[in-house]
Amino acid sequence: MTGIDCLLHLYQELDRYTEDQIHHISQPGVWSLGQMYDHILLVAHEYLDEVGNCASLTTDTADGKTPFGEELFRQQAFPPIKIRLPDEMNAPPDNTDSRDRLKQRLLELVKRMEDWSQQLGQIEPQRKSRHGGFGWLNAQEWYQLIEMHTRHHFRQKKELEQVLPD
């Protein structure tokens, strides 16, 4: 499943939920489905910004990934664990978007990904920018990270679905 496929799957899944279910927070500290969607969208756009950053660089770097980044890309997946960022980086995502707004944002993201996918092969693989946890990534790796990050949240989505009100 590509990153675009993952996002289109999430798009289709939105029709399964009522507006109340999208915004339902089962307990303090647990996100709603809407917050999970918002997080996925924001992070994907951040990663695409880094694709653009790599495309605009004029110098190469030989720096590589961290050991965690190497393992992440070797596995082609995030580890099957919950990852909590430090509190200063962990503000709750927005929970106000309607189903229609989330769908619109997903389609806008898919369009942006399609546009970049046409250019990825022309970006030098030694043009890299630094990810705080994974090390130095090139444009293709930042793009691939969108799919890996989105897929990682599929487990969370299943957990959130189990506590939705009827």
Report percent pLDDT > 70 for the chain: 96
Kindly report, residue by residue over 72-131, the tens digit of the pLDDT: 999 999 988 787 766 666 678 999 999 999 999 999 999 999 999 999 999 999 999 999
We report the CATH number of the domain holding residue 86 as 1.20.120
The pTM is what? 0.95
Structural domain boundaries enclosing 105: 3-162
Ramachandran angles phi, psi of 127, nearest 5°: -90, 110
**Domains of the chain: total:** 1
Task: Report in angstroms the alpha-carbon separations of 69 from 87, 88, 133.
Answer: 22, 22, 7
